[in-house]
Amino acid sequence: MEEFIMESYGKVNLALDILYKRNDGYHEIKSIMQRIDLKDRLIFKEIDKGLIIESNHPEVPKDTTNLVYRAWEKLREITGVSKGIKVIIEKNIPIAAGLAGGSTNGATTLLALNQLWDLNLTEKELIKIGKNLGADVPFCIMGGTALAEGIGDKLTKLKSLSNKHILLCNPGIKISTAYAYGKIQFSNKRIDIEGIISSIEEDNLKVLSEKMANSMETPMIGEYPIIGKIKSIMIENGALGALMSGSGSTVFGFYDDEDKMKSTQKKLLNITDKVFISKTL
């Protein structure tokens, strides 16, 4: 085999309601996740033994902390396959940005090795393996639009919300998921998840955008006011709605006017070079 190439897609959270902290240390959530076309590219090459990780991005870990390594290691452990692999990560998704950049690379590795090693594992089996790697990995395996419950591993596929214009802006602040969870102030007020699901089913992007919410957003804006500034710029310049994705620091906005989206991109490029025009998948 010369090379095996797979795209590794990011995600945004259209809603993220954090219900409570569980006894196992994880948090019980209710979230709506959406795949987007901002993506990394992973190139797989078989080698005699071991795992080699290379990347065009200097901050991508090359050791056991990378979910690519953990995915390879977990599949070897489960299946007994002892083949080596070299993985080249062409990184486009910002790191520690709330877009599942690391999780999607781990998920893509599971999907790729399932093919390369002729394992014939089902999506359900891969999702079960992915749950042990990280909370976002199961969704990154499934993709599309989904309600995520539990720690993010209990997935219910929703009607597709594909082909919607979305602007992403990352201020270059890296926020670890653990740090963001540590800042949460729990509330009895719940996010209208059912209302958001209804707006997806009705293909009403305006209502969806108005209902979007994230339990992590307010505390993270308190820590990093630039997140709030980016959100305000999007809304003031034609976004139907804007929200911080996941644990941040990326903010995304939905647009029904491409010209307004491109104009907003130009304004945001004065703040950061990490501004991406994207679409939902």
Compute the half-sphere exposure of residue 267: CA atoms within 13 Å on the CB side of its CA. 17
Question: Is 48 a residue of the active site?
Answer: no
From 17, 40, 136, 153, active-site residue: 136
Number of Cβ atoms within 10 Å of the Cβ of 270: 9
Rounded Cα distance between 92 and 277, Å, is: 13
Rounded Cα distance between 53 and 5, Å, is: 14
From 11, 39, 164, 211, active-site residue: 11
Rounded Cα distance between 219 and 224, Å, is: 9
DSSP 17: E
Rounded Cα distance between 145 and 280, Å, is: 9
Bridge partner list, 279 = 165
Question: Is 11 a residue of the active site?
Answer: yes
Q: Helix, strand, or coil here: 269?
A: coil
Q: What are the structure tokens assigned to 163, written together? A: 């082909």
Helix (H) or strand (E) holding 42: strand 27-47
Q: Nearest Cα to 31, choosing from 186, 166, 153? A: 153
List active site positions: 11, 136
